[in-house]
Chains A and B, each alone.
Chain A
Amino acid sequence: MVIRANSLLQVLCYVPVLWLVLCGNHVSGRLFAGEPQGDSPVSRATALLRSNCFSCHGEQEAEADFRLDLINTNFQNDPVTAEKWQRVLDAIRDEAMPPPDAKQLTADERRWLVNWVDGEIQQYVKSSSVTRPPRRKLTRVEYQNTMRDLLGIEMDFARDLPADPISPDGFTNDSRLLELTPVHLDAYLDSARNALQRVIVSHARPAEFHHRFERSNVSAWHGETHISSELGRQQQFLARIESAYPEQGEFLVRVSVSVELMPHCGFPLLEVAVGYRPDTQILFREFPVVEISTPGEQVYEFRGNIQDFPLPVRGQGKFPGLVVRLRNTYDDGSPLPKGVKTDGKKLVYPAEPHLPLLRVQSVEFHGPVFDTWPPAQHANIVTEIGSNGEPKRSDVRQIVTRFAQRAFRRPLSNSELRSLMKFYSEVRSDFPKFEDALRETLAFILIQPGFLFVPGTDQTQADNGKSENGKSTGEDNWVLASRLSYFLWSSMPDARLFDLAANGLLSQPEILQAEVERMLRNPKSSAFFEQFADQWLGLDLIQGVEVNKDFYPHFDAALKTEMVKESREFFAEMVRSNYSAQDFILADFSMLNESLARHYGIEGVLGNQLRRVRFPPSHHRGGLLGQAGFLLAGSTGTDSHPVRRAVWIRDRLLNDPPRPPPANVPGLDAIDSSFQQLSVREKLEVHRHDPTCASCHQDLDPWGIALENFDAVGLWREELRVSRGEEFVKSPIVAKDIFSDGFELAGPEQLKERLGCDLSDRFARSVLSRLLTYALGRPLDVMDHAATLELEKQFADSGYRMRDLLKIIVASDLFRGSTFGRNQHDR
């Protein structure tokens, strides 16, 4: 063997302890740095790899940027090298390597090599001192939800927090990346103070305002506004309160409407907004739209905090007064009739009798509203205090203890309580009222690590209060409650989870399983579906693509929001109905509402509610791969972008992201001007003539090209349109391509068969891997390998059922936290 001078200069390394024990002699650590000595396993491995692998993964070729001649045998504290060995192990065990056209290992050789590498990795896992981040800062969404559940009010708590960093997998809850900067800390304190100012009141019961309107009292707004009590697509009902309105506290808008439904039409959508200056959008804030599916008279109530709505400045505005605005946002997509100016001034839109109508009977405004004084949120926290006067110190201690325990999601230690009470005493004299000092004390709790961090999945004892007296029984339950609730609710545990934790019951397997079921039934689980589905599938990319109006003149940008909901709801349906993972690919349905169905050309789906809709085979649709959101995200807004779609499939569905293109490759557009005229597909052809590009793209592009029949907005097409000057030039679609191993893929049906049948195990493992990454709040590594294999087996045994998968993960040692791989091996 030729010993290369530069390899000898590498740092001297040592073989794993195992080998020292077994061989009893000191062997050169770098596998291929020196001549192998004697018959040691290292030398046998060296010989096997050299004769079978080096020709491609060595000095000469370095295929896939992977050089086996430089890999180190010692990786005790070197997770990067350990990952590399894991890749070697997987490739050899799965017989993915050596490739068919290369020299093969015999069965014996393969078995021996697999055992050897596996043994090395096991040794690494046992002896590694690499630890995981045990603590994870709350994400923006988790902070928002936790504050909401803790304080019992709705508010934009996370407004001033910077965006969370995104992991390579697309997740925002990666404990290694989440940071806590001074900007964060300042924002946490400001938010806590603002919120507590609302929750804890120290003023007298405020004056209340009550108004009732039977017709719009605003007649002369400028701008194109048609004011009416009969709300179709273009009318508004505007109720203005000139000055008798509150500037803080909860308010209630009660709307009484009479509804006329129309056949072959969806349902009216009642939108209530509060603000001022109806000629702009920013000065109004809308409540979530209410879909009304029954005819006749009915009453709806909307509650909000007036401080969260745009308020006019008293005595200053050009448009004085608070305005309640009602609209019917149902739109059947037909062309809007033109407005007519009556008596030379007012704009009137003709009635559209084929559309559902909302007839406004009355609008009431009440504010501030509260059932009791002080309001319930206040009373829930400040329980011990009588009507007035300075509370006893023991009462304050009670209040602070109860609040801190909920905020920290575990029992409070004596020293923690002492510190909080000391703080209360320190600030008490600075403020005229005890409520002020209490607010500050509670705000103080809300900037402490105990609140801002959740225990990571590799830490059983977090900063657990009880650990002071050395008792560990029951502690796991508190940590488990937090993990569970941040996994499935993106928020703090509720009272029941706390109870189960307090009684040490949560960790019992049956109870844990039952809690997963209960939590998934709770509406708060929508946070999980939203967070995980959006991040796994990259749904936020949908909003980022600007659809080209020249190509898609009828595309309504509002549909993008519906597309996000479709994929998110589809994921939720997979979990709720316990579908098999393959159904992500093979399902013949998706979750549609009227506007999505209209987009796809499916008739008879009316209303805003998403529901399961089966596609006839002629639609080539069903499952993730036919969803317009994914297809739009994998487009330029003008044409499909097969590479983007392919990367998404490789990364998100197969957990096999292609390597990023080398840095020195010019963008496709930079080659020449006529290149601009080509379709994306044609550009791709040009670019695959370049051997540096082809080496990766050959096994990438076919995944996306199979979907070429779906245009930028996800609709089926037989022809490709390219804009040449004033007109479109058309050419037939080619949706067929060949992988480097000769496998041919043509059209979405074959693609689905490939992913959902041939590769279904691989796909299912990929789903598990992503879900586990999200559940743990960190990427998986070699140390998780053994545990993950066990979970994969359980998942397969369940028939790859999705709700079962959640339970498998929650029940796993990885999630419950006792484990590193090493603990498992210790058993």
Chain B
Amino acid sequence: MTAFPATLRQELIGLGGIVERNVYLTKRYFLWDLAFMVWTIANTLTIVFIARAVNVSPAEENVLATRLLVGAVIWAFLGIIFEFVTETVAWERWEGTIEYTFMAPISRVVHLFGMAAYAVLYGLIRATILFFAVVAFIHIHLPHANYGAAFALLAIASVSFMGIGMMTAVLPLISPEKGAQLGFIMQGIMLVVSGVYYPVSVMPEWMQSIAKISPATYALRGDRASIVSGAGLQWADVWPLIVIGVLAMPIGLTIFRFGERYAKKHGKLKRSG
């Protein structure tokens, strides 16, 4: 076997190993996952019930409930991706496996991509359960929903989310104590500027400017259009996501590499930090 196919094969097996490990962990923490799922559904219901409290016609109430639901589902989806990717380092540090993983013969690209791929898969399953559980509970009518377009846009947006997650994953590497907290702050800022439960236009102008570079803005806008009115994939939403994705992934990886080098130079990989 020549060098390149052998290396590629090893990297792919390594990628599979990371996904496999996360499957094991999900199985072991199943009851926590279940509890978190119930909590997320309850939390989403508290948001979607707001539509019932507004004094509008039943049709308008249905649209408002759907808009809030899409926001809550994408918030949950993004939360999963950030939790997995951003906490790649924090998690391993907590388990005490970080040094072992960082001295394993696998490229960092594959390592991070494996974490991100599992996060997207897991996030999509959870988002789907959440969406249909709330729809069934509140009896939201979605006669025009274009699920295919909504899924496709979310998949395209996932690339950008993964890239941004990789950028924030470096934070616990540089600062073991404060890095994870900063990751949460980043996630919150991204969602608040992206119009998670409201149109971007209601925010101050400076926040609207930031919204333009957030992939969540386009994912929310496009998915709302697909679910509420059955719109297909809109180029106006797709191209910004492609641009942000193409830029975010290599920038995320580069930042992570610098962070890893810094951590190795200053001895930050140690278990206890």
* A, B bound: no
Q: Which residue numbers of B lie inside 8 Å of A, CB to CB? A: none
> Which residues of A line the B interface, CB within 8 A?
none
